[in-house]
Structures are given as C-alpha cells and as structure tokens.
C-alpha cells in the first residue's frame, strides 16, 4: 500500500494509486479520516485516488477531503496528481487531460515538474449549479448573518462550491471564527468552501480560506479560481490576477465566459507504505 505525498503551497495531498491497493474500490470514509489525520495517520489535506479509467479523458481522478467527503474538483489536487503522473513517467510535458467529478481539465507541465498550468473550466454564479437555495439567479452580493456579523457574499462554482466574502482586510482569525458556520450554512445544500477576499490592487488579491471538509488550509487552487472570478465579476480586478495566500501565490487568468487558467507550483515530499495497523484506529 504505497502512497506518495506532495504539497502545493502547503496544501498537502496523499496520492494513492489503485494499482497499489488491490481489492480497494476507493478509500472509505473511515480509511480516509485516519490516513489524513495529523496525529494518528500520515496526515494531509486530502487523498487523490487515481489514475482511474475514464471515457472522458486520458486519466480519471477522485478527490477526498479529510472528513471523508468527496470533492468534485481540487486545483491544488489536480496539480499534485498531474505531477505524480509525470514522476511516474505516465505523462510528459505534452498537454493531457484529467477527468474529475467536476469536469475534465487540460494540464501542461513545465520541464522538471515543479510548475503546472491547468485549464480549470468555467466559473458559474448560477444558484442552481453551485448550488444555493432560493430562486434561480446569479448569487451576487447577498446578505448572510453569521454569529455576530452580517456579511455580503457572492457564490460561485468551478465544479465545487465557493462562498466569497470581500472585505477591506482579511485574517486567519476570520476564517477560523466564521468559516465553519458558513461551510455548513443551510444556504448551501452541498456545503461550501469559504474565502475571505481582500483586493490589493487590480492584479492582486489576498484570500483566507476555510475549506469544505478540510477546514483552514494554507492554499487552494479552486478557491483561487473562484475568488479571482468573483473579484472580476464585481469589477474589482482585471483578467490576470495573482492570488496571495498564507502558503504562497497562484496565478489566475480569466478568459471569456469566466474560463480559468491556473498556474502554480508543486513540491514532492515523500513516498511510503501504509501499514494495516493504521486502520485499527478510529478517528
């Protein structure tokens, strides 16, 4: 049961190749929770289960959050999975495609594998696609009361849901205090990722992130994509945006119809073996 660990700006993932896990159809919720646990397991912000067979692309991928929930898409996860394929010599620097539950993406790896560019798909603000409860609409600058504060949010999807809250200044404390309540708010039938957004100028934004099923993370590719798209939708930034996060920066280019091209790094961390004894612990 070999695993491969990478991080993308401190948002770390464990790659589990089904070829190394005979008899497994996918990690169960219990297995995912203990593998990802920072004390009782190998520790990570999620599991990347692939490559899987697919008719829609060259490689299939499933993405699991540390709480065991499955995500439709992960920007950092896609860069890490693509780097794994490169390290395993299953791909080169020629473009290739990866199929996720949130859609098919196109990947280009720079020589050496440390920098990758991914066409993430199109961002939508459509309540039915995100989803957000209420009448069909674009969810732009709506009010929401969380604990002692009323926030103005814009919701978006790039395959997975996002709630973006622009503020004059943002902080990790904001994400920790209000993120969990926004993540599980009844507005969002499939829960949501949360970003507190500070616009630095028309080419730079800062976000603090609370992820669905993962909590506070140092970086997020889908959050970067959604936040940059929301800032552009609201007229606050141009089409080329650097997203600044505690773990580092991701480059976002916004095309027609809010298509998103994301460029960012991946760092190789470790390879190892999961021991069966790991699964005797319940977390």
Ligand X SMILES: N[C@@H](CCC[C@H](N)C(=O)O)C(=O)O
Which spans of this chain sit near ligand X (rule: CB under 6 A)?
11, 46, 65, 71, 74-77, 160, 193, 211-214, 217, 220-223
Q: Hunting for tokens 């790659």 — which residue is that?
A: 15
150: enclosing H helix or E strand: strand 149-157
Least CB distance to ligand X at residue 42 (A) = 17
CB-based contact 262:249 (threshold 8 Å):
no
CB-based contact 42:35 (threshold 8 Å):
yes
Measured from the CB atom, is 32 or 220 closer to ligand X?
Answer: 220
Least CB distance to ligand X at residue 57 (A) = 18
Residue 229: asked if its preceding bond is cis (omega within 30°), the reply is no
106 carries a ligand binding annotation: no
Measured from the CB atom, is 67 or 87 closer to ligand X?
Answer: 67
76 carries a ligand binding annotation: yes
75 carries a ligand binding annotation: yes
190 carries a ligand binding annotation: no
Measured from the CB atom, is 38 or 149 closer to ligand X?
Answer: 38
* C-alpha–C-alpha distance, residues 152 and 27, integer Å: 37
Least CB distance to ligand X at residue 78 (A) = 8
Q: Which residues of 209-218 are buried (b: 16+ CB within 10 A; e: fewer)?
A: bbbbbbbbbb
End-to-end CA distance of the chain: 20
Least CB distance to ligand X at residue 186 (A) = 18
Measured from the CB atom, is 77 or 265 closer to ligand X?
Answer: 77
Least CB distance to ligand X at residue 51 (A) = 18
Measured from the CB atom, is 124 or 222 closer to ligand X?
Answer: 222
38 carries a ligand binding annotation: no
Closest-CA residue to 83 (of 271, 253, 214)? 271
The DSSP result for 95-124, as a single string, is: -EEEEETTEEEEEEE-TTSSEEEEEEEE-B
Binding residues for substrate: 11, 65, 75-76, 160, 193, 211-212, 221-222
């Amino acid at each position: 049961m070999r695993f491969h660990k990478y991080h993308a700006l401190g948002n770390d993932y464990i790659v589990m190749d089904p070829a190394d896990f005979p008899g497994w159809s996918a990690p169960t919720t219990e297995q995912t929770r203990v593998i990802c646990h920072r004390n009782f397991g190998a520790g990570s912000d999620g599991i990347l289960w692939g490559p899987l067979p697919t008719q829609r692309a060259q490689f299939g991928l499933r993405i699991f959050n540390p709480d065991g929930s499955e995500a439709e898409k992960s920007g950092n996860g896609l860069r890490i999975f693509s780097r794994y394929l490169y390290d395993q010599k299953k791909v080169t620097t020629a473009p290739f495609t990866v199929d996720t539950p949130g859609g098919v993406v196109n990947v280009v790896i720079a020589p050496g594998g440390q920098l990758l560019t991914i066409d993430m798909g199109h961002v939508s603000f459509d309540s039915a696609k995100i989803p957000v409860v209420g009448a069909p609409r674009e969810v732009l600058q709506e009010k929401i009361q969380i604990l002692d504060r009323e926030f103005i949010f814009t919701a978006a999807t790039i395959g997975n849901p996002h709630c973006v809250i622009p503020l004059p200044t943002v902080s990790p404390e904001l994400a920790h205090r209000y993120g969990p309540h926004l993540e599980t708010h009844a507005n969002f039938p499939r829960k949501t990722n949360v970003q507190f957004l500070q616009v630095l100028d028309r080419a730079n934004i800062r976000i603090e992130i609370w992820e669905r099923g993962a909590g506070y993370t140092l970086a997020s590719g889908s959050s970067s994509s959604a936040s940059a798209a929301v800032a552009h939708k609201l007229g606050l930034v141009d089409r080329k945006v650097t997203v600044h996060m505690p773990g580092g920066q991701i480059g976002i280019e916004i095309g027609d119809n809010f298509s998103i091209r994301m460029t960012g790094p991946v760092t190789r961390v470790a390879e190892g073996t999961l021991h069966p004894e790991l699964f005797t612990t319940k977390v």
